[in-house]
């Protein structure tokens, strides 16, 4: 009985989706009537009148599936799926899937599954999704982002789009020139060929405790950095290939460096025109998130909301396992929000509403 109940519950979820998007379906059907050639199988198909599109194909008790509704449903599928339903027998197959969907939904309602807490929560999630789409899809679009705002963002974040060449090195830092020469000779041999080998030399010889903690890694820097002595920066950029090890470098401050190049980044210049698509998308996302937050904040401000923090503190959270229905399906509801994905439609009826 439980598997059957689960199937019926999922059927009802799809029925809810259909009910919520029915207005959108009706609009598409109206568009099809306005442009009957497109709905009837291509630009050369004869026009279909509103009367023809309103003709019934099947009746299931008090539910009627019209020619226009059937046509709109099947034409919403992908081209690959639509190609499977061109013959009369294949159309009957698709119609049968719609009929099975309706009779299963009716049985689910008959059993009161529309009042099942899980179904109610899922319905609320679907309604929230549709509410957010209706509220923001047309009002906040990527195309609505002003050019001036994109240019302002580009100029304020120029470092993201115009980057100088950078080099990354590891260093053994010593305070004695003679010792540095000996270590440099060792590092330029087999002992320093690998990064691990060079790190071992750092741990063995370096006098700088801070860089020792990072294995001598000085991270990436460009030629204008002031964090390192100028002779060290010059020597680092003088290393041609990744893996090259320098001779002794006099830092000019009483210390001597032995450097190993571990990476190099080429300079990058991305013009405003090149960066504009990515900037537009970022500003669009930011604008949409702000609009959604303002929308929800206004709804909360106009609602009477009471929170019992004492009872909230008594809530016990089971962190051991996810909620399971006994058939391998995680029933833990996702967080509510405008961008949540509803549960997948049932496989059994094979209907893509």
**72 with 16, same domain?**
yes
Amino acid 328: pLDDT: 53
Tens-digit pLDDT profile for residues 156-203: 999 899 999 999 999 999 999 999 999 999 999 999 989 999 999 999
For residue 199, give the CATH number of its domain.
3.10.50.40
Domain assignment present for residue 137? The answer is no
Domain assignment present for residue 340? The answer is no
Token pair 């004695």 is found at: 176
Distance CA 138, CA 141 (A): 7
Token pair 């789009």 is found at: 161
Tens-digit pLDDT profile for residues 3-59: 454 445 454 454 544 444 444 444 444 444 444 444 445 555 678 888 888 999 899
Return the structure tokens found at 279: 């900037």
At residue 211 the predicted structure's pLDDT band, cuts being 50, 70 and 90, is: confident
Last residue within a domain, chosen from 237, 269, 301: 269
Distance CA 29, CA 43 (A): 17
Last residue within a domain, chosen from 269, 304, 326: 269
Tens-digit pLDDT profile for residues 238-281: 999 999 999 999 999 999 999 999 999 999 999 999 999 999 99
**250 with 167, same domain?**
yes
Diameter of the chain measured on Cα atoms: 99
Amino acid 86: pLDDT: 86
Contact 17, 76 (CB under 8 A): no
**7 with 106, same domain?**
yes
Domain assignment present for residue 48? The answer is yes
Q: Give, in degrees to the nearest 5, the angle at Cα 244 between 241 and 249.
A: 120
Report pTM: 0.52
Last residue within a domain, chosen from 224, 250, 269: 269
Question: Which residue range(s) make up the domain with 98?
Answer: 2-115
Domain assignment present for residue 298? The answer is no
Strands (E), the chain: 56-60, 63-66, 162-163, 166-174, 217-222, 249-250, 256-265, 268-269
């Amino acid at each position: 009985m439980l598997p059957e109940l689960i199937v019926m519950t999922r059927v009802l979820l799809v029925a809810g989706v259909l009910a919520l998007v029915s207005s959108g379906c009706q609009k598409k059907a109206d568009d099809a009537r306005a442009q009957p050639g497109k709905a009837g199988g291509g630009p050369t198909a004869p026009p279909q009148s509103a009367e023809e599109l309103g003709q019934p194909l099947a009746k299931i008790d008090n539910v009627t599936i019209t020619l226009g509704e059937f046509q709109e449903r099947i034409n919403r599928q992908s081209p690959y799926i639509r190609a499977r339903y061109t013959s009369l027998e294949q159309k009957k197959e698709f119609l049968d899937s719609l009929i099975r969907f309706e009779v299963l939904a009716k049985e689910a309602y008959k059993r009161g599954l529309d009042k099942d807490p899980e179904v109610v929560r899922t319905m609320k999630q679907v309604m929230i999704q549709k509410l957010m789409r209706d509220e923001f899809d047309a009002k906040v679009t990527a195309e609505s982002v002003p050019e001036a705002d994109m240019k302002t963002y580009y100029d304020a974040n120029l470092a993201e789009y115009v980057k100088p060449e950078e080099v990354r090195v590891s260093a053994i830092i010593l305070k004695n020139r003679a010792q540095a020469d000996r270590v440099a000779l060792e590092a330029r041999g087999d002992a320093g060929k690998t990064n691990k080998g060079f790190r071992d030399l750092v741990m063995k010889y370096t006098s700088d405790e801070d860089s020792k903690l990072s294995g001598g890694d000085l991270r990436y820097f460009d030629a204008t950095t002031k964090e390192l002595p100028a002779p060290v920066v010059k020597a680092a950029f003088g290393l041609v290939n990744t893996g090259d090890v320098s001779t002794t470098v006099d830092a000019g401050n009483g210390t001597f460096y032995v450097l190993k190049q571990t990476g190099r980044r080429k300079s990058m210049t991305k013009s405003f025109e090149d960066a504009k698509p990515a900037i537009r998308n970022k500003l669009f996302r930011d604008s949409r998130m702000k609009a959604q937050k303002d929308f929800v904040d206004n709804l909360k401000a106009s609602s009477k909301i009471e929170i019992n923090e004492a009872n909230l503190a008594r809530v016990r959270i089971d962190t051991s396992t996810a909620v399971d229905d006994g058939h391998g399906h995680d029933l833990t509801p996702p967080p509510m929000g405008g961008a949540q994905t509803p549960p997948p439609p049932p496989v059994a009826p094979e209907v893509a509403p």
